[in-house]
């Protein structure tokens, strides 16, 4: 199949459509969690949203990546994870402290990368950050499985704290990458 040539500045791309769908469905999931708590339908919806991230990436690589996609894709990840975690805190299935630590890191690093992007320095996403997102999603998934929520509530909490460690660790990596990019001149003009 021929590769579609989307300009790096394009907004209306198939990958962006998937990211936008993920953005719109994530608050729906959070609302359902608030109403129903752990349930198999909520687990299914969360799983579909999370797995669509891989499809989104495949489509983007096949049709061409864009700056808008580089913004929308991680935003959709954050809205999914933080929205679901906040809903789980609201229904007392997750403690607030680990979720607050994750939220502070996610927001802080987003601003940090955005600041450097405005300076013309790109801080590329790391593979470890993608793994971190997967661990966060697994913590949410375990919390949404009714039998785990009822009989093994320690399991989602264990994975949640592992996600905190990974989240803070990748945050430190981004700060280090930003300092290194600044002192060496980094990759100027790249998207971020």
Q: Which domains does the chain have, with CATH numbers?
A: 14-188 (1.20.120.1760)
Query: What are 187's strand-pairing partners?
Result: 122
Please check whether residue 8 is in contact with residue 69, taking contact to mean a CB–CB distance below 8 angstroms: no
- State the Cα–Cα distance between residues 106 and 79, nearest whole angstrom: 10
Q: What is the average per-residue pLDDT within 65-87?
A: 87
What b/e sequence results for 73-91 when a residue is b if at least 16 CB atoms lie within 10 Å of its CB, and e otherwise?
bbbbbbbbbbbbbbbbbee
**C-alpha torsion angle, residues 165, 169, 174, 177 (rounded to 10):** -170
Q: Identify the band that residue 119 occupies on the pLDDT scale cut at 50, 70 and 90.
A: confident
Mean pLDDT for 158-180 is: 92
pLDDT of 185 over the 90 cut: no
Of 13-27, 64-78, 157-171, give the lowest mean pLDDT range. 64-78
CB 148 within 8 A of CB 142: yes
Least confident of 65-69, 119-123, 148-152: 65-69
Instruction: Please identify which residue in the block is written with the tokens 């002192």.
Output: 183
Tokens for 162, please give them. Answer: 């592992």
Q: Provide the 3-class DSSP secondary structure of residue 187.
A: strand
Averaged pLDDT for residues 66-73: 77
Nearest-angstrom CA–CA distance, 69 and 75: 9
The bridge status of strand 187-188 relative to strand 121-122 is antiparallel
Per cent of the chain over pLDDT 70 is 90
pLDDT the model gives residue 187: 52
Round the average pLDDT of the chain to a whole number and report it: 87
Asked if the model's pLDDT at residue 115 lies above 70, the reply is yes
How far, in Å, CA of 42 to CA of 14, rounded? Answer: 26
pLDDT tens digit string along 9-25? 656 788 888 999 999 99
Task: Give the pLDDT score at 14.
Answer: 80
């Amino acid at each position: 199949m021929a590769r579609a040539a989307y300009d790096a500045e394009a907004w209306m791309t198939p990958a962006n459509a998937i990211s936008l769908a993920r953005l719109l469905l994530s608050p729906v999931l959070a609302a359902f969690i608030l109403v129903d708590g752990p349930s198999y339908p909520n687990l299914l919806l969360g799983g579909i949203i999370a797995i669509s991230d891989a499809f989104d990436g495949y489509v983007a690589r096949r049709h061409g990546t864009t700056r808008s996609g580089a913004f929308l894709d991680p935003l959709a990840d954050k809205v999914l994870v933080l929205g679901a975690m906040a809903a789980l805190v609201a229904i007392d299935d997750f403690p607030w402290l680990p979720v607050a630590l994750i939220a502070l890191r996610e927001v802080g690093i987003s601003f940090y990368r955005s600041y450097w992007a405005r300076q013309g320095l790109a801080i590329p996403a790391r593979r470890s950050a993608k793994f971190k997102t997967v661990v966060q999603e697994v913590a949410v998934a375990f919390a949404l499985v009714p039998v785990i929520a009822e009989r093994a509530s320690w399991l989602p909490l264990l994975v949640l704290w592992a996600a905190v460690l990974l989240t803070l660790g990748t945050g430190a990596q981004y700060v280090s990458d930003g300092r290194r990019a600044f002192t060496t001149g980094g990759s100027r003009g790249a998207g971020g």
